[in-house]
A and B are shown apart, each in its own frame.
Chain A
Amino acid sequence: MSEQIVQTLVDAISVGGLYALTALGIGLIFGVMRLINFAHAQLIMAAGYAVLVFSTQSVVLAIAGALAAAVVLALLVERAAFRPLRSADPAMLLIASFAVSFFLEKAMIVVVGSRPKGVDFLPGLARQIEVAGVRLQMLQLVTIAVCLVLLAATTWFLRSTRLGLEMRAAAENFRMAEVLGVRADRVIATAFAISALLAGAVACLFVAQTGLVQPRMGLQLVIIAFVGTVIGGLGSLPGSALGGFLVGAVTILLQALLPPDLRLFREAFLFVAVAAVLVVRPQGLIPAPGMKERI
C-alpha cells in the first residue's frame, strides 16, 4: 500500500515537473512581451519531430536536434510574426500567437500528414528500478531530475547573469528598462531562445513517455500549462512554475484518488478547483509586481 502511495507521488511530481517547465517557458515570454505564446505547443512539436528524425542515429544527436529545432523555430517566429507586433496590445498578441500556432500545426499536417508516428526514444528508461524497497520507473526519476536541473539553471541565469538581470528588469517595466539601456531585441530573442530550450527538453521527455509524435502534440500540454500560469499569477515566473506544477500534480492525484467512474472527469474537477482558487485570488497565487497598468 505504501509502495503505491510513493509511486503515485513520484508520478505526480514528474508530471507536475513537466507542466512546470512548460508553464515557465510560457511565463518567460509573457514576462518580457505580454505575449501568451500558443506557438509554444509547436516548439514542442518541432522538437518532437527532430527526435523522430535523429533518434535512429544517437541519443545525443536527437536531444541536440530537438533543442536546435525548437530554438530555430522560436527565433523565426519571433522575427517574422511577433517583432512587428511588439507595440500591439496583449489581446492582439494573443490572437496573433493563436494564428501562428494554428498555421504551424496545419502546415505540418500538409507536409507530414496528421497520422501519429511511433518513435522508440530512450527505451532503456522504461525499466523499473528499486529504490529503498519501492519499485519506480526510471523515466519518471529522470524526468524529475531534469526538471530540477532546468529550473535551477533558469533561476541561476535570471539571478546571476547580466542578460538575466535585464530580462527581469524588462519583465517589471519594459519601457523603463529600455530607457535605461536594455536592448529590447536582444532580451526578447534571449527569452524566446530559453523558452524554446525548455520546450525542447519537455518534448524529449514527453516523447520518451508516450512514444509518439504527431502534428497536434503539445497543444493539450500547453493549454493546461496556460491555466497553470493563470492560477500561479500571470507575469510572475515563480508563479508560473508553481501553477504549472500544481495543475500537473493535481491531475495525477485526482486520477489516483477519484472513484473509477469519476476518473474520466478529472479535468473537470481540476478546473473547478482552478475556478475556486481564482475566486479567492483573482491575481493568482503569487501575484506579479509589474502587472498593474500604470497610467
Chain B
Amino acid sequence: MSEASAPALRVEPVADATPSPLARLFPLLCLVAVVLVISGLAELVPTVAQRRITQGLINLIAVVGLYVFAGNSGVLSFGNVAFMAIGAYVSALLTMPAAAKGVFLPDLPAWLAAAEWPVLGGALAGGGAAALVAAVAGYPLMRLSGISASIATFAILVVAYVVLGNWTSVTGGQNSLMGLPIYVGQWTAAGWAISAITVAFLHQESRSGLLLRASREDEPAAAASGVHIVRHRLAAFVIGAFLSGISGVLLGHFLGTVRVETFYLDLTFLLIAMLVIGGMRSLTGAVAGAVVIALLTELLRQAEVGVTIGGTAIAAPGGLGDAVLALLMLVMILFRPNGLAGGREIEWPRRRPSR
C-alpha cells in the first residue's frame, strides 16, 4: 500500500496541534443542534409551515449527500438527484401495500408485488440500491479527469430519468406511483438529517476523507504523494449516493407519491445552488446553504402568491423565484466564491483563528 508511507497531508492550518475531542467534534455538535432547533421550531408553527420545514430537512439531507462527494473532491456531481430517484422508487416498491401495487402495477414480478417491507428496511434498501448503482457507474467515471467526470455524471441523471420514466411495468412510467406509506414528519426527517450530517462529518475526518480533500487542493501533488485519488473519489461518491438515496426515500414517504419528473434538472439545480451559495468546501456551508435557501425560496414563493393590499392583489410573475436564485448563485460565485461559510467549519470559540 503506497499510501501508508505517505505523510498525512494537512488541508487546513491547525493552530493547536492536539485539539481536545470536544473541540474536534464541535462543528458536528453545532450542526446537530441547528437541526434540533429547526425541528423543535416546527412544533410551534401551523401545519403548512411544518410541512415546509420537513421538506427543507429532506433537501438538507440531499445537499449533505451531494457535499460528501462534490465538497470533498472538488468535482461537482450532476448525478445525485438520480440517486434520490433510485432510493425513492426502490423504497416505494418494497413498502407499498400489495393491494395498491396490484392496482397501479399489475405486471410486477410476483415477489416484488407481494413485498410489504417495514419502512426502515425499505429506506435502507433504497439508500443501498443508490449506493450500488453509484459504485457500478462510478467506476468508469471516477477514472476521468475532474472536469470530464463532472460532465459525465450528467449521463447518470439522464439514464435514470429515461429508464425510470419508461420502465412502465415496474415504475409506472410517466404516471405517479401513489399510496406510499406516509411516515415522514419533521422528527423523522430530523433524525435522518442528524445521521447524514454525522456520516458526512466522520467521512471528512477519516483518513480517506482527508486524502480526498488533499487531492481537491492540489491534485498532482496528492497523486505524487501516493494518494490513490480514484479510490477515494469512488468511496465518497458511494457514501454520498447512499445519503442522496435516503433523502429520495424520505421525499417519497413525505409526499406519499413518486413521480419521475420530480427528480430531474430543477431539483438538481436547487441542490447545487444550495451547496454553492452555502459554500461547497465545508459541511457547515452545505447545511447553511440548505437552511438559508429554504428560507429564501419560501419568501419568494410568498411573493409569487402575492399579497392583497386594499383589494388589489400584487404578485410577482411566476418563475421569478428560480431566476432570483440563479442570479444569487452567480453573484455569490463572482464575489464570494467560497460561499456563506467561506470554506470553514464552525470553530471552537476559545481558539483564535489565525486568519
Q: Which residue numbers of A lie inside 8 Å of B, CB to CB?
A: 34, 36, 81, 84-85, 88, 90-92, 94-96, 98-100, 102-103, 106-107, 109-110, 113-114, 219, 223-224, 226-227, 229-230, 234, 264-268, 271-272, 274-276, 278-279, 282, 284, 291, 293, 295
Contact = CB atoms under 8 A, between A and B. Distances in A.
B142 to A, nearest CB: 10
A91 B272 CA distance: 13
A234 to B, nearest CB: 5
Contact of B151 (A34, A109, A227, A265): A227
Given A106-B323, A264-B162, A265-B163, A99 B329 contact: yes
Contacts of B265: 219
B148 A95 contact: no
A109 B319 contact: yes
Given A94-B151, A230-B144, A278-B152, 14 more contacts: A36-B150, A88-B337, A95-B333, A100-B326, A106-B319, A109-B318, A109-B322, A223-B154, A230-B151, A234-B147, A234-B148, A267-B158, A275-B141, A278-B143
A274 B150 CA distance: 14
Contact of A81 (B75, B219, B330): B330
B330 A103 contact: yes
A103 B323 contact: yes
B146 A268 contact: no
B140 A278 contact: yes
A224 B145 CA distance: 19
Q: Closest 8 interchain pairs by CB?
A: A103-B326, A264-B166, A106-B323, A109-B319, A106-B322, A102-B326, A99-B330, A99-B329
28 contacts: A90-B146, A90-B147, A94-B150, A95-B272, A99-B273, A99-B326, A99-B329, A102-B269, A102-B326, A103-B329, A107-B323, A110-B317, A110-B319, A110-B320, A226-B154, A229-B151, A230-B144, A230-B152, A234-B145, A267-B159, A271-B158, A274-B152, A275-B137, A275-B155, A282-B148, A284-B148, A293-B220, A295-B220
A30 B206 CA distance: 35
Nearest to B269: A102
A265 B317 CA distance: 37
Given A267-B159, A278-B141, A278-B152, A110 B318 contact: yes
B76 interface: yes
Nearest to A284: B148
A100 to B, nearest CB: 6
B10 to A, nearest CB: 20
A36 B155 contact: no
A265 B162 contact: yes
Contacts of A267: 158-159, 162
A190 to B, nearest CB: 23
A84 B143 CA distance: 31
Majority DSSP secondary structure for residues of A touching B: helix
B333 A99 contact: yes
Contacts of A92: 333, 337
Nearest to A263: B166
Contacts of A279: 139-140, 143
B92 interface: no
Given A99-B329, A265-B162, A91 B75 contact: yes
Contacts of A278: 140-141, 143-144, 152
B42 interface: no
Interface string B145-187: 1111011101100110011001100000000000000000000
Given A91-B76, A102-B269, A227 B333 contact: no
B261 to A, nearest CB: 13
Nearest to A89: B74
A235 B334 CA distance: 25
A88 B317 CA distance: 34
Interface string B113-144: 00000000000000000000000010111011
Contacts of A227: 151-152, 154-155
A265 B150 CA distance: 23
B45 interface: no
Interface in B73-114: 74-76
Nearest to B323: A106
Nearest to A109: B319
A275 B144 CA distance: 11
Contacts of B154: 223, 226-227
Given A106-B319, A227-B154, A267-B159, A36 B76 contact: no
